[in-house]
Amino acid sequence: MGGDRDGNPRVTPEVTRDVCLLARMMAANLYFSQIEDLMFELSMWRCSDELRIRADELHRSSKKDAKHYIEFWKQIPPNEPYRVILGDVRDKLYNTRERARSLLANGFSDIPEEAAFTNVEQFLEPLELCYRSLCACGDRPIADGSLLDFLRQVSTFGLSLVRLDIRQESDRHTDVLDAITKHLDIGSYREWPEERRQEWLLSELGGKRPLFGPDLSKTEEVADVLDTFHVISELPSDSFGAYIISMATAPSDVLAVELLQRECRVKQPLRVVPLFEKLADLEAAPAAVARLFSIDWYRDRINGKQEVMIGYSDSGKDAGRLSAAWQLYKAQVELVKVAKQYGVKLTMFHGRGGTVGRGGGPTHLAILSQPPDTIHGSLRVTVQGEVIEQSFGEEHLCFRTLQRFTAATLEHGTHPPVSPNPEWRALMDEMAVVATKEYRSVVFQEPRFVEYFRLATPELEYGRMNIGSRPSKRKPSGGIESLRAIPWIFAWTQTRFHLPVWLGFGAAFKHVIQKDIKNLHMLQEMYNQWPFFRVTMDLIEMVFAKGDPGIAALYDKLLVSKELWPFGENLRANYEDTRRLVLQVAGHRDLLEGDPYLKQRLRLRDAYITTLNVCQAYTLKRIRDPDYHVKVRPHLSREYKESSKAAAELVKLNPTSEYAPGLEDTLILTMKGIAAGMQNTG
């Protein structure tokens, strides 16, 4: 939050700056209370000579009483050396906190930087001195208590509490460089071919002269990108993690960010992470990364380490779940080969969503289904907004989630999953082509698909409501291609149809089975022996267990114009065919027969979610057709009539809504309820 600006106009450079300063202030505040506890605890006078000398120096130079502290506000006597040392740490933490507070409030601070902690080593050094002294004096059990806990916390969270990743779309960097090249009268960067872009970027990175001055003419978008880089240069480097380029396609995208960091005088440049998302970008990713590694300047810059992010959400939206999952698998295998060839340690960063259509699924299985050699004891995974609470909302959940990640990562390293044999790979390649064609023929080539999608789902209403993490589209105009992956998946989840998850599977299975019945046996063999294929199939089966084409038919009947009804009927027939084929390949007679526990949990939820679906469908009808009235049976009870005044008061709760009273609240409640009911179980 505050770092990911990809298409979100509300994440401004000022927001990024404020988030970093707030985090520093909060970190100092949390440490401050623990330092006071340690000052109470470490009252002993026995210490090492090293600590005694330091304590005496500090005692001589310490100021008068500090009345702004609740405890230990008088000057600490020299016969309490640990308290003298910790008192100095407390003074600096106080200054660190107050400096961050005044920078946040006023943009400047009277407290000089040298009076506060500027890096974590300064903070750790006196604490480690206390630890060494306690051990040397035979007080090891005390040293290994609260002090060691505190040392571990400081080492983990530093002074910044969190390292903020900055994320921006590649197109926005192209806009900035285009403005610069036009300003320099050397042409339009946007129109240059990839080779020319790389050549120019590398020549500038090798040079020393600044590219532009204050006279550069800037649009609002260009200024926003440059201001973000200036914020990165002004704040301490430990505030930031990686700079992620979404929709990355080529080596020039990475070099562009490197050049902009240098131009904006970022003293310790952030590591640059390309995010490959769409199918074509994933296919081209290994070649793009190999080109970067072949550049001497770039290899010197990365010091043998590279992080690459792969996107599950947009690849699924672009080509469907089957093709996306297979291309993500292949891209990882090829990227690992490239990294080995150039002697670079590669960290894969998985941009998974919470739902199956966005790469979600049970953590343990998802990690174990990764290709061999892609997890060497380390991986990065995004935890999306919609699943943060269910994974980290309570202390015991945090531990369980972290245990799952750790166990699966270790297991993947000690017992790597099997590599697919060549026949399996060839069959997957063939199926992926058919699945992509089927998916795109419906979603992108069917002339009335967008109209049907907007009528049959609550997508438009969702876009208007403030319950997403950012605007529902990257660009205000445009169809499905500009729609973000979250509302795309969310809208189909609401109607229990889950189209983006299963569309393409049926056509792919039908094609290979009709071609040769032996392929069915091969698919069943793949299901039983290959973790990647099994996890993919099990997740689709789970989605079918949650789906209900009857509910989708109700939305069609109430909300879709009659001439589009046959279109919905064809899609539902496709749904049933795909479900039958998935069961056939898995060798199951019924959905989830291999997981009766999950089946029972979904059955328990069903009655509640169906009620919400019906309520939502009728609410949408009333929103879109104000003349439509749901008939209520006349025999209302006396109690209801007496309480109707309270009901009338309730519908005034949302006075800013453009809809009739109560409708927006009802819609939000049904949306959140259905989303909760559809969350991955297991």
Q: Which residues are catalytic?
A: 317
Separation between Cα atoms, residue 513 and residue 530, nearest integer Å: 19
Structural element, H or E, at residue 351: strand 345-351
Closest among 392, 395, 393 to 405, alpha carbons compared = 392
Closest among 628, 632, 608, 610 to 618, alpha carbons compared = 628
Separation between Cα atoms, residue 153 and residue 182, nearest integer Å: 49
Token pair for residue 75?
């000057």
Q: What are phi and psi of 344, to 5 degrees?
A: -110, 135
How many residues can be counted in the chain?
A: 682
* Residue 629 to residues 363, 386, 650, 666, Cα–Cα distance (Å): 45, 34, 20, 15
Closest among 46, 206, 208 to 139, alpha carbons compared = 46
Provide DSSP, 473-524.
BSSSS-SGGGB-HHHHHHHHHHTT--HHHHTTHHHHHHHHHHH-THHHHHHH
For 564, half-sphere exposure in the C-beta direction (CA atoms, 13 angstrom radius) is 19
CB 678 within 8 A of CB 546: yes
Token pair for residue 411?
């297991």
> HEC profile for 648-669?
HHHCCCCCCCCCCCCHHHHHHH
CB atoms within 10 A of CB 429: 12
The single-letter DSSP state of residue 163 is P
CB 85 within 8 A of CB 54: yes
Structural element, H or E, at residue 243: strand 240-246
What Rg value do the Cα atoms of the chain yield, rounded?
Answer: 29
- Burial level of 613, CB count in 10 A (0-12/13-18/19+)? buried
